[in-house]
Amino acid sequence: MPVVRLDHETDFDGWRAAARSLRQQGVEPQHVVWTVDGATDLFSPAPPRADEGSAPSGVSEPAPPPASLSPPGEGGFRVPKPFVDLAGQVIRHRSDERFDLLYRLLWRLQETPELMHLLSDADISRAGHFARDVSRAVHKMKAFVRFRLVQDADGEAYVAWFEPAHRVTEATAPFFMKRFANMRFSILTPDVCVHWDLNTLAATPGADPADAPREDALEDYWKTYYASTFNPARLKVAVMRKEMPKRYWRNLPEAALIPDLIAQAEARTSDMVRAAPTEPSRRVVKAAVRNSRDAPWDGQAPTSLEEIAAGVDHCRRCDLWRDATRGVPGEGPRRAKLMFVGEQPGDREDLAGLPFVGPAGQVFDRALAAAGVPRAETWVTNAVKHFKHELAGKRRIHKTPNAGEVAACRWWLDAERRIVRPRVIVALGATAGLAVFGKPTPVATSRGEAFQLPDQARGVVTWHPAFLLRLPDEKARTQAYDAFVEDLKFAWRLVA
Ligand code: URA
């Protein structure tokens, strides 16, 4: 039985070379044992890579110490790039099954070249799960590494202790290097430590939590900042737990604040609803009113997001304001590179004055997290800024805005586009498609593509999150949700 010894837990090159060699020699997946050489690690000299035990009867022995493995690209078979990308992710998963699973897929790809597209296949689905776990771990690492200030012989440096769910430290280190290019730092983890000295990124063996400092003077600032940016009206405990799983809490200074903030959220939300909205300045209101109530189409365009927010609330360009509580402006950073456009605020958004905070917003948040897209870095808005509905008893039932209402409200959307200047605009659903592209854009046939827009942005259309909620069939719902997540990832890649 061939035993392949890989150099270390994420030895992708070793796995790839051994797998290629074994495949060429016709060694079936069930006859290979994959191990990681326990006596060595990433930082020791490379051990021999493959050796053999006794072969089961009928199975020929491979002849593979590593020196004899074929170099990449030779050997008469090719695998599709999506498989190589998938394998590069899966190898970072902590499951011991991963090498086996990947070799089985490699083996099967030769007989079934379309295998990568068979999403219901058990091996493909498992590998997909592993890859998603790994990309979630990358996302969590980017979000939850907390540096602490230390002094060493060269001055100030920052050290973080982190326990990633999967072996993603080295893959994620370049992200920190780019973000903190001017800061000397080390990220210590049980698997491997990475260090940036302003010139090079280096790796050393895994560390112990005791090696990392526990507290520093910056911590209080960070806790104060976290508590002040915590918006109780947006609290969704289940989503929050999912986003910030408890396994990360022990290393997060702000985690100590969470139980109290959750406990106080309800009372704080009621206070916020009762409190009068913050008044925009007189200049902003004047400009807004000029642009909305009285101005014709060629009125003076708003020049700031504040003007838009105030203007939306005063807008009389169509009749929807009559039955709505307020106009709901977009939300996000002024220079967001990615803009999402929904249809119109729903019941909850109309009350809260914020886009996508109700049930559709929860699906949206979950899908964004799954796709690794930080909502806080995006501009989220709607094609129509007032809630269109009809009454059924005491309930306000959503009604789709018509083309005239969408056209009237483009004044505001166009202004948001001019000011935010996103690189990519994602239309969520057909109404948003009409607003963003200026013509009917059927989702089913247009999704998955990027279209050039006149303002230099690229436009993408995908499902509306509420559409996913409405699908009656579980399977169709899961498929549409997965497709939605893929579309979000696609848009995020376009931004990059
Ligand atoms: N649906 C939308 O299109 N937008 C929202 O803000 C909420 C629900």
pLDDT 10s digits, 204-225: 888 887 777 766 655 665 566 5
Q: Is 305 a domain residue?
A: no
Q: Is the pLDDT of residue 294 over 80?
A: no
Residue 279 pLDDT class (50, 70, 90 cuts): low
How many contiguous H segments (helices) and E segments (strands) does the chain have?
Answer: 17, 15
pLDDT above 80 for 19: yes
Q: 10 lies in a domain?
A: yes
What is the pLDDT confidence band of residue 233, given thresholds at 50, 70 and 90?
low
Confidence of residue 463 (pLDDT cuts 50, 70, 90): very high
Q: Would you say the CB of residue 343 lies under 6 angstroms from ligand 1?
A: yes
Do 369 and 328 share a structural domain? yes
Neighbours of 319 (CB within 10 A): 12
The pLDDT of residue 235 = 62
CB of residue 346 inside a 6 A radius of ligand 1? yes
Residue 254 shares a structural domain with residue 378:
no
For the Cβ of 342 lying below 6 angstroms from any atom of ligand 1, the answer is: yes
* 487: its two tokens: 């579309």
Q: Which of 362, 382, 400 to mutate to test the pocket of ligand 1 (most atoms within 8 A of CB)?
A: 382
Substitution candidate for ligand 1 out of 325, 343, 386 with most atoms within 8 A of CB: 343
Residue 476: Cβ within 10 Å count: 11
Say yes or no: CB of residue 355 within 6 Å of ligand 1.
yes
For 395-415, what is the mean pLDDT? 93
Q: What is the 345 CA–ligand 1 centroid distance (Å)? A: 4
Tell whether 133 and 25 lie within a shared domain.
Answer: yes
CB contact at 8 A, 136 and 370: yes
pLDDT of residue 394: 75
Mean pLDDT of the chain: 82
Cβ distance 461 to 443 under 8 Å?
yes
Let me know if residue 237 belongs to a domain.
Answer: yes
The tokens for 286 are: 């004047």
401 lines ligand 1 (CB under 6 A): no
Distance (angstroms) between ligand 1 centre and the Cα of 365 equals 12
If asked whether residues 266 and 356 sit together in one domain, one would say no
Q: Is the CB of 356 under 6 A from ligand 1?
A: yes
The residue among 476 and 246 whose pLDDT is bigger is 476
d(CA 234, CA 272): 12
Model pLDDT, residue 277: 46
> What is the distance between the alpha carbons of residues 380 and 354, in angstroms, rounded to a whole number?
9
**The predicted structure's pLDDT at residue 47:** 35
| pLDDT for res 65 | 33
Q: Please give the Cα distance from 262 to 235 (Å, whole number).
A: 8
Domain that holds residue 187: 145-211
Tell me if 290 is assigned to some domain: no
Instruction: Give me the half-sphere count of Cα atoms (radius 13 Å) on the Cβ side of residue 296.
Output: 1
Atom of ligand 1 nearest to the CA of 355: 6
Q: Give the residue among 336, 370, 375 at the shortest CA–CA distance from 361.
A: 375
**Are residues 235 and 328 both part of a single domain?**
no
Distance 479 CA to ligand 1 centre (A): 21
**108 assigned to some structural domain:** yes
Separation of CA 328 and ligand 1 centre (Å): 10
Q: Mutate which of 312, 340, 344 to test ligand 1's pocket (most atoms within 8 Å of Cβ)?
A: 344
Distance CA 431, CA 439 (A): 10
Find the mean pLDDT for residues 173-194.
91
25 and 104 belong to one structural domain:
yes
* Strand-pair category, 2-6 with 451-452: unpaired
Give CA separation, 314 vs 113, 289, 380, 388, 478, in Å.
59, 6, 20, 16, 40
Whole-angstrom distance, CA of residue 170 vs CA of residue 193? 8
Are residues 202 and 261 located together in one domain of the fold? no
Ligand 1 proximity of 6 Cβ (cutoff 6 Å): no
Distance, in Å, from the CA atom of 482 to the CA atom of 278, rounded to the nearest integer, reads 40
Distances (CA, A) of 239 to 234, 281, 358: 10, 35, 12
Identity (one letter) of the amino acid at 427? A
d(CA 307, CA 311): 6
In a domain, 299, yes or no: no
Kind plus residue range of the DSSP H or E element containing 265: helix 258-274
Tell me: do 357 and 442 sit in the same domain: yes
CB of 466 within 6 A of ligand 1: the answer is yes
Read off the CATH number of the domain in which 339 is found.
3.40.470.10
C-alpha 70 to ligand 1 mean position (Å): 55
Q: In what order do the strands lie in the sheet with 155-161?
A: 148-152, 155-161, 185-188, 192-196, 201-205
With contact defined as beta carbons under 8 Å apart, do 205 and 193 qualify? yes
Claim to verify: residue 238 and residue 203 sit in the same structural domain: no
Max CA separation in the chain (angstroms): 89
Given the CA of residue 360, which atom of ligand 1 is nearest to it?
8
**Which of helix, strand or coil describes residue 479?**
helix
Tens digit of each residue's pLDDT (9 = 90 or more) over 432-461: 999 999 999 999 999 999 999 998 899 999
Going from the Cα of 467 to the center of ligand 1, the distance in angstroms, rounded, reads 11
CA of 436 to the centre of ligand 1 (A): 15
Co-location of 238 and 342 in the same domain: no
CA-to-CA separations, 295 to 211, 289, 307, 315, in angstroms, rounded: 64, 8, 14, 10
- Model confidence pLDDT, tens digit, residues 239-276: 666 666 777 776 776 667 777 777 776 666 556 555 54
What letter would DSSP give residue 295?
-
Domain count for the chain:
4
Strand bridging mode 50-52 / 155-161: unpaired
| Mutate which of 234, 464, 470 for ligand 1 pocket (most atoms within 8 A of beta carbon) | 464
Q: How far is CA 347 from the centre of its chain?
A: 27
The DSSP annotation for 149-202 comes to: EEEETTEEEEEEE---SSS-HHHHHHHHHHHTTTS-EEEE-SSEEEEE-SS-EE
Residue 96 lies in a domain: yes
Token digits of residue 227: 């508590």
Which pLDDT score is estimated for 275? 52
State the distance between the two ends of the chain, measured CA to CA, in whole angstroms. Answer: 46
Model confidence pLDDT, tens digit, residues 33-78: 999 985 333 333 333 344 433 333 222 333 333 333 333 443 457 8
Regarding whether 488 and 378 lie in a shared domain, the answer is yes
345 Cβ inside 6 Å of ligand 1: yes
Pocket lining: 360 vs ligand 1, CB cutoff 6 Å: yes
Domain boundary among 183, 211, 239: 211
Question: Do 96 and 166 form a contact (C-beta atoms < 8 A)?
Answer: no
Tell me the C-alpha distance between 247 and 491, whole Å.
Answer: 30
Q: Which atom of ligand 1 is nearest to the CA of 343?
A: 3
Ligand 1 pocket, 382 CB below 6 A?
yes
Q: Which of 23-32, 201-210, 331-340 has the lowest mean pLDDT?
A: 201-210
pLDDT at 61: 35
The pLDDT value recorded for residue 375 is 94
Is residue 295 in a domain? Answer: no
Distances (CA, A) of 374 to 96, 136, 231, 340: 31, 12, 16, 12
Name which of 271, 280, 375 is nearest 331 in CA terms: 375
The rounded Å distance from CA 468 to ligand 1 centre is 13
DSSP notation for 127-147: HHHHHHHHHHHHHHHHHH---
Question: Residue 492: pLDDT band by 50, 70, 90 thresholds?
Answer: very high
**Do 372 and 478 share a structural domain?**
yes
pLDDT of residue 95: 95
Ligand 1 nearest-atom number relative to CA 464:
3
Ligand 1 centre from 493 Cα, in Å? 24
